[in-house]
Amino acid sequence: MPDAVTSGQGPLDGRLVLDLSHALAGPHAAMMLGDLGARVIKVEAPGGDETRGWGPPFVSPPPGGAADTESTYFLACNRNKESVTADLRSPEGRALVRRLVRRADVLVENFRPGTMDRLGYGADRLHLLNPGLVILSISGFGHGGPHGDRPGYDQIAQGEAGLMSLTGEPGAPAKCGVPIADLLAGIFGVSGVLAALLERARTGRGRVVRTSLLSAMVGVHSFQGTRWTVAGQVPEATGNQHPSIAPYGLFHCADGAIQIAVGSEKLWHALASVAGLAADDPRYATNADRVGRRAELAAELEGVLRWASADVWLERLADAGVPAGRVRTIDEVYDWEQTRQQGLAVRVDHATLGPITLPGAPWQFDGGGRTRHLPPPTLGQHNDSVRSWLDETDETTETGDGAGDAAAAARDAVRVL
């Protein structure tokens, strides 16, 4: 597929993603597909994705540059994309979407259920235009049920799905420090898209992949979910201590805190040896015993740890093979050599801001992956280039809902991965 912008390398190199989404869950999913090498065209309303206004912080271009500022929130979830503006309700916008749908492998949207149908972009219509299209639809609370039409906002979903009851100190529900419901909905959506693309390689047909913020939160309940569904226990928040393993959590030293994870009896004996505790103390004989006396054990352990610095204890614990680590601030993470070595920060040249650093993609591939990342686009930055590309690749005259659409459907019916 000819590209107006080179997509670089990656498993999805040569695939086209049409991003009709906004805010975070959908844009995060589309960005991940771009990180995997796909070309992503983001269609924004003339006023732009609302995250362009989410701040502070906003970043200003260098002196002498453009007057507009950029939201760091938008920058976080829109790398490796091109931006075109269109009113999806206007004839011109509808024509643009049709042209892109015919060429796309994946379409991403996160409107409230029913919105795409009301706009004239229902799944049946889209698959008439392109039978091979994989559609990712992300909602707040699912695509049916008594709460299916509710708007999806991350913190509300964290509360409704039980996550906040598990987070923070006992009796003080707390949200996660990142919009985890949005992010995980995007990640689960991408896994469904990749499976649908594999299926399309066999069948030539695309399908609709649906997920939601609620689904994402319930999908990561893990052992906290089975505590209720199997054991009949309602989990509660335990702060920075693990509810089912001890000692496992945050502990204070002379000059700060470290985290220690003792996940086996072997590790318990190793930690006891380093800390001068009695490994065979009957109060702490088994993990269940230690969990039952979690607060008592934590106080005893911290009484020892407070005699030396975090650096000293981390070295001693490492020598003994006991998993432990620091609690880093965000700036320390990006200054950490391990982060840089793993490619978890990427440098891009933004159209107005110049060189900026972004969080990088969370995977690597043998033989190399995407070698060049595109900066998050300014609003409508690719209006001309995308439309020119569409003009160059048109094989039939755009004729709306008639013969042109039928011809496109027939032509696209044989398209596979």
Per-residue b or e along 371-381, where b marks 16 or more CB atoms closer than 10 Å to that residue's CB: eebbbbbbbeb
Integer Cα distance of 115 and 13 in angstroms: 30
Among residues 35, 182, 405, 412, which one is catalytic?
182
Q: Which residue from 161, 175, 117, 167 is spatially nearest to 143, judged by alpha carbons?
A: 117
Contact 43, 377 (CB under 8 A): no
Q: Which two tokens stand for residue 364?
A: 């690597």
C-alpha to C-alpha distance for 317 and 270, rounded to whole angstroms = 8
Q: Three-state DSSP class for 38? A: coil
182 catalytic? Reply is yes
| Those residues with Cβ within 8 angstroms of residue 306's Cβ, 6 or more apart along the chain or in another chain | 252, 253, 254
Q: Is 125 exposed, middle or buried (0-12, 13-18, 19+ CB in 10 A)?
A: middle
Q: Quick one: which H or E segment has residue 348? A: strand 345-350
Q: Which helix (H) or strand (E) holds 212?
A: strand 208-212
Closest C-alpha among 123, 110, 43 to residue 81: 43
* Residue 191: closest CA among 77, 28, 16: 28
Q: Which of 314, 316, 312, 340 is nearest to 325 (CA)?
A: 314
The residues annotated as belonging to the active site are 182
